[in-house]
Amino acid sequence: MPKVATKLTDTEIKKAKPTEKEFTLWDGDGLFLRIKPSGKKIWHLAYAAPVSKKRSKMSLGFYPHLTLAQARALRDEYLSLLANGIDPQSHNEQKANALKDAAEHTLQTVAKQWLEEKVKTSGISEDHAKDIWRSLEKNIFPGLGHLPIKEIRPKLLKQHLDPIEQRGVLETLRRIISRLNEIFRWAATEELIEFNPADNLGHRFSKPKKQNMPALPPNELPRFMIALSNASIRLETRLLIEWQLLTWVRPGEAVRARWGDIDVKNKFWNIPPEFMKMKRPHKVPLSKEVLRILEKMQPISGHREWVFPSIKAPLNHMHEQTANAAIIRMGFGGELVAHGMRSLARTAAEESGKFRTEVLEAALAHSKKDEIIASYNRAEYLVERAELMQWWSDYGQAQKYKFMVA
């Protein structure tokens, strides 16, 4: 690096004309300007690397886009880094990587990756995944989605979630906090963050009061059955509601009935574990009335995968809220939800005194603490559960007949 007696001036740089060979104008302290035969003028900085002491150089930018004053300021900044043992080229690479990381790993992009993996590994349905994403789009992404996930701190989350608590939708808030915890834990395992900012966040908000889902008492079953028979709803929707009522399954399990899982000969519906809440296979004995539902659906969907196909997208199954929407249109809003039909059936069977508690729990696919015992019990109770399912079908028909002749 030659010693420079005088500093460069803008006039000198402007007058410098290209020649057949590249040449250099030095400004001092490692800063120099290379003039190419093409006429391009490029600023460079020559320096000794902090550790190896090897001579190195780096490009700073083109003149006149980078002026003489700006090039000198940049040189001084880099000389300051070198004085502290920092290689300016490594420093720039780290800054570029940090900016790229911030752009690629916002809360929304990370949440998308988390949800995609959750769908693959936990077997949640597409409808459930869409519900999760809609909830995040509505409650989280507008204020936090664009932020790099590394920059999100507990206080920021608390401030963002306070208005949700103030609206009084505490159950929604609980689910959002749960999902945020999952997202941040996933990000930590991917080494995108060092700690989970949502950890213990739930303790800083009011807890929702546990409420039972609306369910009719057994003596109201006839009124519901008559309303269902006379309701202005599609045949497929009516049959779906009957299917769920008679099989004791959850709404999400009911709509995922597949023809391939139905064993008509042995009168069983074999639900695979990925469709069950507890991720265990469940076998449902089919009563005569349930088999009649299948007979009615056969010409409608027998050539497709799902017993209850979506009206708008026949290759998919019905949405699990379809039954709830129909029940509201029937005038039972606030009195009954689709999930509450399980409670209605269980209460009627309990009050009959004909069935053991273990049989009723097995029919509802409720889990037991000991998985081995639970698996043994489900197999042992199949005969009793077949009797239970037929009793429940007969009970519903009998109650409906009494109501009609009364």
Q: Which residues are catalytic?
A: 250, 277, 339, 342, 366, 376
Angle at CA 122, nearest 5°, toward 118 and 128?
Answer: 70
Residue 382 tokens read as: 């199949």
Residues 6+ apart with CB under 8 A from 172: 135, 139, 164
Amino acid at 379: A
CA dist., res. 180 & res. 185, Å (int): 8
Of 150, 122, 51, residue with least CA distance to 278: 122
Residue 119: Cβ within 10 Å count: 15
Give the CA count within 13 Å in the CB-facing half-sphere of 1: 18
Of 310, 313, 338, 316, residue with least CA distance to 242: 338
CA of residue 142 relative to chain centroid, distance:
16
CA dist., res. 288 & res. 310, Å (int): 25
Of 319, 341, 311, 274, residue with least CA distance to 120: 274
CA dist., res. 179 & res. 118, Å (int): 11
Residues 6+ apart with CB under 8 A from 175: 135
Residue 247 tokens read as: 């099989």
Distance in angstroms between the alpha carbons of the first and the last residue of the chain: 109
